[in-house]
Amino acid sequence: MNRILIVLLLLLGLTACSDKIEDVKKPNIIFLLADDQRSTTIRALGNDEIITPNLDQLVNEGTTFNNAYIMGAMNGAVCAPSRAMLMTGRTLFNIDPTGNTIDSQHITMPKAFEKSGYYTYHIGKWHNGQSAFLNSFSDGSKIFFGGMHGQYQVPTYDADYSQKKLNTPSDKHSSELYADAGVEFLQNYDSDKPFFMYMAFQAPHDPREMSKEYLDMYDIDKIELPSNFMQQHPFDNGEIDIRDEWLAGYPRTKEEIKANIAAYYAMVTHLDEQIGRVLKTLEDEGMIENTVIVFAGDNGLAIGQHGLMGKQNLYEHSIKVPLIFKGPGIAKGIQKEDFAYLFDIYPTLCDFAGIDIPPTVEGQALNLFESLMTNTRENMFFAYKNFQRAVRNNEWKLIKYNVDNTIETQLFNLKKDPNEIKNLAKNQEYKNQVDIMTKLLGDQMLKNNDDAELGKVDWGVPVLPAWKNKTRPEEVAHLRELAEKERRMRGFGKISE
């Protein structure tokens, strides 16, 4: 019998016998996914500058995993493979590592719930191909197929996408548009089936188009610069010249980074408010007592840290994400330090709902109950394209770079230096630790089906072309223009400045 379901039965005052399980109504699931929201953007988790009352409530009433990560990506659009791993429960090198498609043999999370009697519903962004969407959900509303778009006039579809009937673009901000769809779904849901509602927001991904009301909540002059702010990255990490990095001038200035952080926080606060509307409707409709709520981000973001703006790197700020579970029987107000990947959410929710975990799933079910023994990973592995690899354990983190066969190594003591400021790799005193972590990295690469080998030229894998070298020139020019527009919104000039 499923161990989490046993605990849930006991918490509900029921007899944990097999003939009783069938009588228990499976929990509804609401999965809220933010776009580019890093782990340090929730007030209840230690950021006193940001305003997030609804996410704070989830933290206070649920279980938070403080060491939740994405495994990485093999392309600049990090969110695509991140979401593919999330949907399949599989590791980076066991999916299409670009995330542009999902193998039809890999049972997606919503499909597994649909097969177990759930009504599955999608709202918002879908970045893993149209066929994968049609193979995953029962229904949907305000479906946006793509990676990024402005926050207004978003091209969306409803219900049966196979008809390809485009909705009339809305003047509402994307977060409001998707929250409206969520509220409407909950208010009108009258089936006896439990539901799985997946809401994938575009915020706080740029463009950071936000009304003055929310921008005025943050005084740019009072925004605190991160301790790892740098004017530029100390060396070429292989992805310095990419769209995300154009969102601020070179070298980075304190003023422009603070303006970007303020706009980013404003979008998070606005998103938090929309999430609050959905959760209030859930309560008003009398559904909250039998609903599991999951909140997560698809990846982090630098915004000035280490001289970077985007997420095409393996620093903590870009691979660590928020992850919160709230629901019946889930421990309240607990923050866990267990290592977790986003793709662990899939088996965790299956385990909680008493659904068989498909054999294609590779993630581990997380412990959502304070009283149960925790099974944790001892280390975590990360990869970005064919020129960045990293591994961490409870104390140490190693990052390796191979750009044009120039090798750079970084070693950080995360317990003493969580913001990864002091690189110890060239300190002879830590040579043995570098060797230990390098061996661990190699072992993890092999374990995770990574074709790269640290001892070979180019790590023994094809050199992946820079993003702008494989993109049509007119598209590169268009994206550069959009980046410059974003800078002008913050009151700054051209990228070349």
pLDDT confidence tier of residue 162, bands split at 50, 70 and 90:
low
55-84: average pLDDT: 96
Average pLDDT in the chain: 92
Radius of gyration over every alpha carbon of the chain, rounded to an integer in angstroms: 22
Amino acid at 68: A
Give residue 25's pLDDT: 84
Angle separating helix axes 345-353 and 3-11, nearest 10 degrees? 50
27-45: average pLDDT: 98
pLDDT tens track for 447-480 = 999 999 999 999 999 988 887 888 889 999 999 9
Give residue 14's pLDDT: 39
Give residue 66's pLDDT: 96
Instruction: Give me the torsion for CA of 309, 312, 314, 317, rounded to 10°.
Output: 30
pLDDT tens track for 184-223 = 999 999 999 999 999 999 999 999 999 999 999 999 999 9
314-340: average pLDDT: 96
Q: What does the alpha-carbon distance between residue 27 and residue 287 come to, in Å, rounded to a whole number? A: 10
Give residue 165's pLDDT: 76
pLDDT at 16 > cutoff 80: no
pLDDT at 107 > cutoff 60: yes
pLDDT tens track for 337-385 = 999 999 999 999 999 999 999 999 999 999 998 755 466 799 999 999 9
Amino acid at 356: D
Q: Which of 229-233, 280-284, 349-353, 481-485 has the lowest mean pLDDT?
A: 481-485
pLDDT at 227 > cutoff 60: yes
Give residue 15's pLDDT: 36
CA 267 from centre of chain: 16
300-322: average pLDDT: 98
Q: What percent of the chain is modeled with pLDDT above 90?
A: 84
Give residue 43's pLDDT: 98
pLDDT confidence tier of residue 174, bands split at 50, 70 and 90:
very high
Q: What does the alpha-carbon distance between residue 403 and residue 382 come to, in Å, rounded to a whole number? A: 17
Q: What does the alpha-carbon distance between residue 128 and residue 138 come to, in Å, rounded to a whole number? A: 17
394-423: average pLDDT: 97
